[in-house]
Amino acid sequence: MRTPEFLNKFYTFYRDGFKSMTVGKTLWLIVLIKLFIMFIVLKIFFFPNYLNTNFRDDKSKANHVREQLLQQ
């Protein structure tokens, strides 16, 4: 099975573009570091797993979530 021509052009366009970047590589590195901080570090320290620490079984977790949703 052959890949469509537009996918080949799309791939080569971005491959060649990223190869010739100089400042862009540094900017992409900064973006990736920021994403790592946002999704990994902040989740670990600021968003603990509330349900696993306060409830033992799935039924009590589900009841708590249901109660919280129905209150609002």
Q: 13-67 pLDDT, tens per residue?
A: 988 888 888 888 889 899 999 999 988 888 888 888 888 889 999 999 999 999 9
Q: With b meaning 16 or more CB within 10 Å and e meaning fewer, what string describes 46-67?
A: eeeeeeeeeeeeeeeeeeeeee
- In this prediction, residue 72 carries a pLDDT of 66
* Model confidence at 1: pLDDT above 80: no
- In this prediction, residue 58 carries a pLDDT of 94
- In this prediction, residue 9 carries a pLDDT of 92
- In this prediction, residue 21 carries a pLDDT of 83
- In this prediction, residue 30 carries a pLDDT of 94
18, 24 Cβ separation under 8 angstroms: yes
Q: CA 33 to CA 37: how far, in whole Å?
A: 6
